[in-house]
Amino acid sequence: MTPAAPASSAKPLAQHALRAGVVLVLGAALLLGAALGYLRWHEDELIFVTALSHNRTLGTLPANAERIDIPEAAGTALAAILVQSPAAGASGYWVLHLHGNADTALSPGQIRHLERVAAQGSTCWGWTTAAMG
């Protein structure tokens, strides 16, 4: 009969596996923390890029669109655009178009989106945050 392997040889293997797992988890946590820290410390540069936002604005609005400036208490204004649905196809519904921080409501692409929705019969309201507009 062959003797069983000593339990002591399996123990170091389990300890190495446990250490490797702990190192991997700590390394992943460190990388995640570093990525989140970078995003947090560079938030203004990554999100609130006002100059880029103004470079993307459209000089002229479509005939059925109107630019609206909404004054704020701080003396700044929110920029908005209202795109009316053609009277013949108007459904009476209003759509609030949220464009996100990567763009401005007055960019050509966002105005095209608003026009497409308005063509379906809804009046569209798109606005730009204070930081972007």
Residue 129's SS3 state is: coil
Q: Would you say 47 and 101 are in contact if contact means Cβ atoms under 8 Å apart?
A: yes
DSSP-derived letter for residue 69 is E
Q: Please, which pLDDT band fits residue 36 given cuts at 50, 70 and 90? A: very high
- Mean model confidence pLDDT for the chain: 77
Handedness of CA 94, 107, 50, 67 (dihedral sign): negative
Confidence at residue 33, expressed as pLDDT on a 0 to 100 scale? 96
pTM of the model: 0.49
